[in-house]
Amino acid sequence: MRRVLLIATNYLHEQRWAVISLALYAPAMAAMMRGISHEPDQETLAFFLQQQGSFAVIFGMLFAGAAIYNDRRSRRILSIISKAVRRREYIAGLLVGVWCSMAVFIASVAASYTLAGGRDAGRELSAILIPSALGMLAVAATALFFSTFLHPMFATVSAGIFLGMPALFSRVDVHLGRAISPVYYVLLHITTTKSAPAPYQLLIWCVIHTVIFWAAASWMFAQRDIAVTVD
Amino acid sequence: MTAPVLQFEEITKEYRSFRGRPVKALDGFSLAIQPGEIFGFLGPNGAGKTTAIHLALGFMRATSGHGTMLGLPFGDAPTRARVGFLAENVALYHRPASDVVKFYGALNGIPEPALAARTREMLDLVGLTEVAKRNVKKFSRGMLQRVGLAQALVNDPDLLILDEPTSALDPVARAMVREVLLAARAAGKTIFLSSHLLSEVEAVCDRVAIIVRGRVVRLGTTSSLLDVGNACEIVIRGADGMSLPHASCNDGARQVRVPATDQRRFIESVWAAGGEVVSVTPAKRSLEELFLELARQQDGEVR
C-alpha cells in the first residue's frame, strides 16, 4: 500500500500545474457568474454543478489515458519498475493519483458552488459529485486499461467508445447497461438530476467496474515489454 | 560452488521490426555472474547489452530461455528490493536530490528514519551533500548520473546493475565511482557493469564478457583475456639502423613485441646496433585492442 501511495503522490506532484489550473478554473467560473449577476439563479448554479461534475469524469479519462505513456516517454518508468514495485501496484498508484487529482477539482467545484450561493448545497453536491467521483474512478481505470496497449489518444477514444456503448444500443436493458458501462449512466444521472441521489446500485457498479478494469490493466501491463532497447 | 547471483540460460529475445521481420537482440544468450565479483559486460552498440539488463530487471520477457536474479526468476518484484539499478540515460523525477533518493528508497521499502540517514549518507558518498536541496532538473548530466548512483545504492543492494555509470562523469567523479565499486565488492556485493569505457572496466573488473550480436563471444577473467601468451614488450632508444616495421614510436623510443624465445637475441642485436634497452615487460593487450579485434571480426562476418 505504501508503494501505491508513493506512486499516487508522485503522480499528483507531476500533474500539479494541471491540477492547480483545474482547481482555479472552478472558482473563476463561479466568480464570473457572481460578477454577471450578483445573485445567480439556482438553475444556473445547478447547471454549473452538472457541467463540472461531467467535466471531472471526462478529465479523469484524459489524465488516465496519458499517465503510462508520459512515464514511458520520459523513461522515468524504468526508475520505478526497477524497484520492488509490482505492475499492479504501479497501475493502482496511477489510478489513485488520477483520482486524487480529480478529487481536488471536485472539492474546488463544491467550494465554488457553495460560495456562489447554491442553496441546499449538501443535497445537490452529494447528488452530483459523489457519482461523479466514482464514475471518474471507473473511467480512469478503463482508460488505463486501454493505455497499456494503445497510444494515449487511441486509448482515450477507445475508453470513450466503450463507456458510451449503452448509448449505441438505446434499447439495452438498464441493469445490463449499468454492468457494462456504469459511467454512461453516471453521466446521464449527473446531467439530468438536480438533487436526487444516484441509485446505490449504480455506485456499486462503478466500484466493481474499477476493480475489474484495474485487474485487467494490471494483467495486460504485466504481459507488455516496458522498455524498447536503446542499443 | 555458490549459486550465481545473476544467471541467463539460453535466452533469446526477438523483436518484430516495423515490417514484421523478426530481429534477435539476444540469441541463445547464457551467462552466470558469481557472488562478490565485479563483472564487466562489453559489446558494440546493438549487441544486446541493455536488452539483457532489461530482461534481468523484468522490464521485458524473454522469447525463450530463462534466467534468475538472486535465486529467483527474472521479474520477481520483491527480489528487486535487493538490487540497485542505474540506467544508461538517467531519467529522474524533478525534485530536490534528497527527495529523489528518498522516493526511490521508499519504493524499495526502506522505513523512516533509516531512509533519511541512508539518503544523507549516499548523497555524501557521491559528493552531492551541498546540493541535496536543489532540484535535479537544474543538474548537469554528470550530477544526474551521481544522483542516479545514489538512488541505486540507497537500499544497500546485494546486486548492483550499472549501465554506463561513468559516461558523463569527469575524471575525479570517475575515480570516485571506481572507489565506490571497489568498496562495494569488498563488502561482498556483486556488481554487473556495462560500459564502453574500457579502461574503467579493465581497472576494476574481475571478469569480463564481450557480447556480439546477442551472443557471448569472449568470457573470462580480465587478466586471461588480456594475456597474449609467451611474449614481451621491449622499449628501445637509438639503434636507428635497425629496421622494425611493426614498432610503435613514442617520444623517440620504439616499442616492439617479441616472442619470449627471441628476447635475448633481440636485446643483443639492439646493443650491437648501439641502441639502449629502456624496458622489458610481459606483453599484454589492452581491453580496447581485444574489443576492436572482435568488432573487426564482426564487421568481416557481416560483410
**What is the reported pLDDT for B145?**
87
Q: What contacts A20, CB < 8 A, 6 or more positions away?
A: none
Cα–Cα nearest to A230, from B60, B101, B80: B60
- Answer yes or no: is A146 within a domain: yes
Residue count of chain B: 303
The beta-carbon neighbor of A229 closest among B25, B83, B89 is: B25
CA distance B194 to A112: 56
- Answer yes or no: is A122 within a domain: yes
Burial track B58-92 (b if 16+ CB lie within 10 A, e otherwise): bbbebeebebbbbeeebbebebbbbbbbbbbebbb
Question: Which residue in B41, B59, B61, B162 has the most chain A C-beta atoms within 10 A of its own C-beta, making it the best mutation to test that interface?
Answer: B59
DSSP lists the bridge partners of residue B73 as B68
pLDDT band at A171 (very low <50, low <70, confident <90, very high): low
Residue of A nearest to B53 (CA): A229
Q: What is the pLDDT along chain B (303 residues), one digit of tens a residue?
A: 678 899 999 999 988 777 778 888 888 899 999 999 999 998 888 888 889 999 999 999 999 999 999 989 998 999 999 999 998 888 889 999 999 999 999 999 888 888 999 999 999 988 888 888 999 888 888 888 889 999 999 999 999 999 888 877 788 888 888 888 899 899 889 999 998 877 788 888 889 898 888 888 888 887 777 777 677 888 888 877 777 777 778 777 888 888 877 888 888 888 888 888 888 887 777 777 777 777 777 666 655
pLDDT band at A181 (very low <50, low <70, confident <90, very high): confident
Domain total of chain A: 1
- Answer yes or no: is A231 within a domain: no
Residue B283 phi, psi (nearest 5): -75, 140
- Answer yes or no: is A228 within a domain: no
Average pLDDT over residues A71-96: 91
- Are B80 and A84 inside 8 Å of each other by CB? yes
Q: What residues of B are in contact with residue A80 (Cβ under 8 Å)?
A: 107
Cα–Cα nearest to B13, from B91, B67, B73: B67
**What is the reported pLDDT for A229?**
40
**Is pLDDT above 90 for A140?**
yes
- Answer yes or no: is A230 within a domain: no
The beta-carbon neighbor of B59 closest among A3, A7, A226 is: A226
The 3-state DSSP class for residue B137 equals helix
What secondary structure letter does DSSP report for B96? B
CA atoms within 13 A on the CB side of B83: 32
Question: Which residue in A79, A81, A85, A87 has the most chain B C-beta atoms within 10 A of its own C-beta, making it the best mutation to test that interface?
Answer: A79
- Are B88 and A10 inside 8 Å of each other by CB? no
**What is the reported pLDDT for A33?**
75
**What is the reported pLDDT for A17?**
92
Which element (helix H / strand E) includes B26? Answer: strand B22-33
Which element (helix H / strand E) includes B41? Answer: strand B38-42
Q: Interhelix angle for B97-107 vs A2-14, to 10°?
A: 150
**What is the reported pLDDT for B278?**
87
pTM reported for the whole predicted model: 0.83
**Is pLDDT above 90 for A117?**
no
What secondary structure letter does DSSP report for B130? G
The 3-state DSSP class for residue B40 equals strand
**What is the reported pLDDT for B235?**
87
**What is the reported pLDDT for A227?**
65
State the smallest CA–CA distance between residue A149 and chain B in angstroms: 14
pLDDT band at A231 (very low <50, low <70, confident <90, very high): very low
- Answer yes or no: is A190 within a domain: yes
- Answer yes or no: is A55 within a domain: yes
State the smallest CA–CA distance between residue B172 and chain A in angstroms: 26
**What is the reported pLDDT for B22?**
82
Residue A43 domain boundaries: 2-222
- Answer yes or no: is A229 within a domain: no
CA distance A202 to B226: 71
Q: What is the CA radius of gyration of chain A?
A: 18
| SS3 of chain A: helix, strand, coil, percent, to 5 | 80, 0, 20
Pair A154, A145: CB distance under 8 Å: no
